[in-house]
């Protein structure tokens, strides 16, 4: 057992280091959920409240008080706030007192008429909005990069797989559009969440605005105006029309669900990519000095995809928190949501941010091994070409059923030689050597052109990129990052 009598409490290396902050997430996302962002937002909300109350007729709130509040939004004495919280056992009141210390003129009107959820819940929603905007920025940038890859390789034939068994051919670019489609669903969900996110606004202690009935002399319309004014000044289009003490926790469920959906698409992408890397067809970027294994020096493990897979599982697990919290809230509110919310949605955003950073890094550096792709295609193509051989033989006068039986016999034998003896697929050579079918080597060579078996894959890629992806990118030019963040540890 650890001897804590010699424990060095001053060394940061003696405490748990949270990986999402120290290893994975970006500075931007970490800032959104930082104490500075949180508590300066509380102060901004107190300023908005005071300004709106004054504008609606509370003339005892002076311009000087509001100005002093504005001047000290970022002048946060965290040590003083901590000391107040130790004494008061209440985080919001601790910061009310700390704010009052640096804005003494305004002390008596800070937090006027509202409950803790005014700053707590509304700040949560502002953080969620800012987090979603950053997620959208990274997602749009990733989609733009992956779309370029799809365009570049729209004509390159590759084996299609169903059940991870070789099926008809597709193209490398067409497969990339399948990944794009999943991420486009996710982008639509992120945009929908941003468009419909509802601000808690100003609702009072149990949602009845009773304190404002007193402040505004029983004028309900002024209370409604205050709610709308604060919502608009906080940057939201919509407010929750009715509430208890808190905003409806269903919103947290929907946000976590949106992030989990994105995690699911990312995980699916890495599943495909890791299988293709095993087949030596595609490879994620591999740094010059990167080590794949401490023991096996030759290894080139898909560690980027594996990191995404690991983080995606974590985000998927966090989705349940939203449902658990929402379903167990009592009446106007209960506090067993608070600790969970402090953990679940900030961590989900940090993990999704990390996932998108790595996705972008992969998309910018995908290595394509065209000769290996062609080799794998040609290993299976003779079997796929047999249907055309049947049609050609029938056109030359043979009985379709007789041709089918000849090819079946030869195919079964070649399959046996491939599987049991490890030989190359020589079905075409066997058909020519057999001599029963009226087809020559030149004709068969034409039949073995992989491009004859990819259907309309190139055209489908072009149509999807032009009709779906490009219009989306044009609408979201301001969200496309010009340079991705360097991939970290």
What is the distance between the alpha carbons of residues 289 and 305, in angstroms, rounded to a whole number?
18
Angle of helix 116-152 relative to helix 457-464, nearest 10 degrees?
140
Q: What is the pLDDT of residue 12?
A: 74
Distances (CA, A) of 300 to 166, 371, 425, 455: 25, 19, 29, 34
Q: Do the strands 165-171 and 157-162 form a parallel or antiparallel pair, or are they unpaired? A: antiparallel
For residue 203, which phi and psi values (nearest 5 degrees)? Answer: -125, -10
- CB–CB of 173/152 below 8 Å? yes
What is the distance between the alpha carbons of residues 75 and 82, in angstroms, rounded to a whole number?
15
Angle of helix 250-278 relative to helix 303-327, nearest 10 degrees?
160
Is residue 469 scored above 50 in pLDDT?
A: yes
What's the whole-number mean pLDDT along residues 92-98? Answer: 97
What would the pLDDT profile of 418-468 be if each residue is shown by its tens digit?
A: 889 888 888 888 888 998 999 888 887 778 899 999 999 999 999 999 999
What is the distance between the alpha carbons of residues 183 and 199, in angstroms, rounded to a whole number?
27
List Cβ neighbours of 483 (8 Å cut-off, separation of 6 or more).
none
Q: What is the pLDDT of residue 300?
A: 73
Which residue has tokens 């001897």?
A: 3
Q: What is the pLDDT of residue 67?
A: 98
Catalytic residue among 11, 163, 294, 442: 163
What is the distance between the alpha carbons of residues 301 and 293, in angstroms, rounded to a whole number?
8
Distances (CA, A) of 5 to 10, 12, 14, 61, 286: 14, 17, 13, 54, 46
Read off the pTM: 0.91
What would the pLDDT profile of 374-391 be if each residue is shown by its tens digit?
A: 999 998 888 888 888 888
Domain ranges of the chain: 372-452
- Residue 29: enclosing H or E segment and its boundaries? helix 27-32
- Alpha helix stretches (DSSP H) within 279-399: 303-327, 338-364, 370-395
What would the pLDDT profile of 207-259 be if each residue is shown by its tens digit?
A: 999 999 989 999 999 999 999 999 999 999 999 999 999 999 999 999 999 99
Question: Please, what is the end-to-end C-alpha distance for the chain in angstroms?
Answer: 32
Distances (CA, A) of 404 to 388, 399, 415, 435, 448: 11, 9, 16, 14, 19
Is residue 1 scored above 90 in pLDDT?
A: no
- CB–CB of 270/309 below 8 Å? yes
* CATH architecture for segment(s) 372-452: Orthogonal Bundle (1.10)
What would the pLDDT profile of 289-346 be if each residue is shown by its tens digit?
A: 555 554 554 557 889 999 999 999 999 999 999 999 999 999 999 988 899 999 999 9
What's the whole-number mean pLDDT along residues 54-80? Answer: 97
Which residue has tokens 């959820």?
A: 117
What is the distance between the alpha carbons of residues 357 and 77, in angstroms, rounded to a whole number?
34
Catalytic residue among 22, 90, 278, 293: 293
Per-residue tokens: 73: 């939004």
Please indicate whether residue 90 is annotated as part of the active site: no
Q: What is the pLDDT of residue 16?
A: 78
Please indicate whether residue 404 is annotated as part of the active site: no
């Amino acid at each position: 057992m650890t001897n804590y009598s010699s424990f060095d409490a001053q060394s940061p290396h003696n405490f748990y280091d949270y990986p999402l902050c120290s290893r994975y997430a970006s500075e931007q996302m970490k800032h959104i959920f930082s104490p500075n962002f949180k508590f300066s937002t509380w102060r901004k909300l107190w300023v908005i409240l005071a300004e709106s109350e004054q504008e609606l007729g509370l003339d005892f709130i002076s311009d000087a008080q509001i100005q002093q509040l504005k001047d000290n939004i970022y002048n946060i004495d965290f040590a003083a706030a901590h000391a107040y919280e130790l004494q008061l056992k209440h985080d919001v009141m601790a910061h009310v007192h700390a704010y009052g210390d640096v804005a003494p003129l305004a002390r008596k009107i800070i937090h006027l008429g509202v409950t803790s959820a005014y700053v707590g819940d509304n700040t949560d929603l502002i953080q969620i909005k800012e987090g979603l905007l950053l997620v959208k920025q990274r997602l749009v940038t990733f989609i733009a990069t992956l779309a370029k890859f799809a365009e570049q390789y729209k004509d390159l034939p590759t084996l299609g797989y169903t059940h991870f068994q070789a099926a008809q051919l597709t193209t490398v670019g067409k497969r990339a559009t399948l990944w794009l489609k999943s991420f486009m669903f996710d982008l639509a969900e992120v945009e929908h969440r941003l468009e419909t996110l509802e601000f808690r606004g100003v609702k009072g202690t149990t949602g009845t605005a009773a304190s404002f009935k007193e402040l505004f002399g029983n004028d309900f319309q002024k209370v409604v105006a205050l709610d709308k004014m604060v919502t608009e000044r906080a940057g939201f289009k919509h407010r929750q029309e009715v509430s208890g003490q808190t905003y409806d926790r269903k919103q947290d469920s929907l946000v976590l669900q949106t992030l989990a959906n994105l995690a699911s698409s990312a995980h699916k992408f890495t599943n495909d990519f890791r299988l293709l890397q095993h087949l030596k067809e595609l490879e994620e970027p591999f740094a010059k000095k990167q080590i794949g294994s401490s023991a096996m020096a030759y290894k080139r493990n898909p560690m980027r995809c594996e990191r995404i897979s690991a983080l995606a599982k974590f985000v998927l697990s966090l989705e349940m928190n939203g449902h658990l919290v929402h379903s167990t809230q009592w009446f106007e509110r209960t506090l067993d949501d608070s600790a969970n919310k402090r953990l679940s949605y900030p961590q989900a955003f940090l993990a999704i941010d990390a996932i998108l950073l790595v996705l972008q890094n992969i998309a910018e550096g995908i290595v394509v091994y065209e000769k290996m792709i062609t080799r794998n295609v040609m290993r299976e193509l003779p079997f796929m070409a047999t249907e055309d051989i049947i049609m050609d033989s029938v056109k030359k006068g043979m009985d379709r059923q007789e041709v089918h039986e000849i090819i079946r016999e030869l195919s079964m034998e070649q399959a046996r030689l491939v599987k049991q003896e490890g030989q190359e697929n020589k079905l075409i050579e066997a058909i020519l050597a057999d001599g029963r079918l009226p087809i020559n080597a030149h004709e068969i060579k034409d039949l073995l052109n992989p491009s004859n078996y990819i259907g309309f894959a190139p055209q489908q890629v072009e149509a999807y990129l032009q009709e779906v992806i490009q219009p989306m990118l044009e609408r979201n030019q301001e969200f496309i990052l010009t340079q991705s963040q360097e991939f970290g540890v």
